[in-house]
Amino acid sequence: MKLVIIGASGLVGGNCMNYMNDRGWKTIGTYFSYQALNTCFYDTLNPSNPNNFDVIGFDPDVIIHCGALTHVDYCELNQAESWQKTVQSTMNVIKLAKEVDAKVVYISTDYVFDGLEGPYAEDEEPNPINVYGKHKLEAENLILDSKLDSLVVRVAKVFGDEERGKNFVARLAAQLKEGYLKWNGFTDQYTTAINAHDIARAIFHLLSDQKTGVYHLSYGEYFNAYELVMKVVSAFPQAEAHVGKITKADFKQEANRPPLGGLKNDKFASEYPDFEFTSIEKYLHQHLQS
């Protein structure tokens, strides 16, 4: 199996690149703005850029599209850029996949839902309430309507190992390792979470079994943002931590967030009952031991 992973300098893409390579699949990971280790340049908005990795020459069986503009508040204020980096880039990936007859895996989000009755199953109706979610849903639909062999994998609150340590859990852990944390957590915004390494493992199974359609991934627990912070704090008992409780009314955000977001993983769990997901607590325990 040969794969190209668009956006391999990020959390999900980087874990997919490393895991697929470790499994013996010939995998090329690409970057655009940040060159992570073992990645090649590719600009999805300018497929004719002479500096681009030669995807057509590589002739992949699968393209995993992880690239997007993910800063939710920035997307709200910069809608044209958000559309370009999420929707237009997906249009270009679809065109590329058709040229090489590749399957496409698209990484999406629980923000395609309004968060009124979460967590959500795959067959529930999307209704995004912010620009980021609207553009991710538009890109999803392009993939699913493309007549390509495809997978849409929705995830929420991804954590895990990454070169830049940008994810929420990693940033909290970095501060707690230094011995001090002051943070506020929302008590009225709920979600699920998923380890990026588990996303890579799950996609490996889905591709191996030639699955198509939409899959939700999470490790099953449901919590609010305050409770999430306290999970990380509990792994650092020696640190001085001051964690406050806030609500949406206490803090101005440019973009609305789904109050009851998150994803049910029943479909994946029923098809792969022996698959073991990694909780935040287990991940931090393993991380601190390494």
What is the CB neighbour count within 10 angstroms for residue 50? 5
Q: For 163-213, how does the pLDDT look when each residue is reduced to its tens digit (9 = 90+)?
A: 888 899 999 999 999 999 999 999 999 999 999 999 999 999 999 999 999
Q: For 117-171, how does the pLDDT look when each residue is reduced to its tens digit (9 = 90+)?
A: 999 999 999 999 999 999 999 999 999 999 999 999 999 999 999 988 889 999 9
Domain identity same for 136 and 256:
no
Percent pLDDT > 70 in the chain is 99
In a domain, 206, yes or no: yes
In a domain, 129, yes or no: yes
In a domain, 231, yes or no: yes
CATH of the domain at 186: 3.90.25.10
Domain identity same for 140 and 254:
no
Residue 184 pLDDT: 95
CATH of the domain at 16: 3.40.50.720
Domain identity same for 126 and 245:
no
In a domain, 266, yes or no: no
Domain identity same for 102 and 143:
yes
5 DSSP assignment:
E
Q: What's the whole-model pTM score?
A: 0.97
In a domain, 145, yes or no: yes
Average per-residue pLDDT for the chain: 96
Please state the domain count of the chain.
Answer: 2
In a domain, 275, yes or no: no
In a domain, 43, yes or no: yes
Q: How many residues can be counted in the chain? A: 290
Domain identity same for 22 and 89:
yes
Domain identity same for 17 and 153:
yes
Answer for the pair 152, 140: CB distance below 8 angstroms, yes or no: yes
End-to-end CA distance of the chain: give it in Å, rounded: 31
Domain identity same for 75 and 119:
yes
Which residue range(s) make up the domain with 243? 168-190+222-261+280-289
| 2: confidence class by pLDDT, cuts 50, 70, 90 | very high
Answer for the pair 144, 104: CB distance below 8 angstroms, yes or no: no
The residues near 287 (Cβ < 8 Å, ≥ 6 apart) are: 161, 173
Domain identity same for 255 and 232:
yes
Q: For 30-85, how does the pLDDT look when each residue is reduced to its tens digit (9 = 90+)?
A: 999 999 999 999 999 999 999 999 999 999 999 999 998 999 999 999 999 999 99
Q: For 236-289, how does the pLDDT look when each residue is reduced to its tens digit (9 = 90+)?
A: 999 999 999 999 999 889 999 999 999 999 999 999 999 999 999 999 988 766
What is the token pair recorded at 197? 């390494």
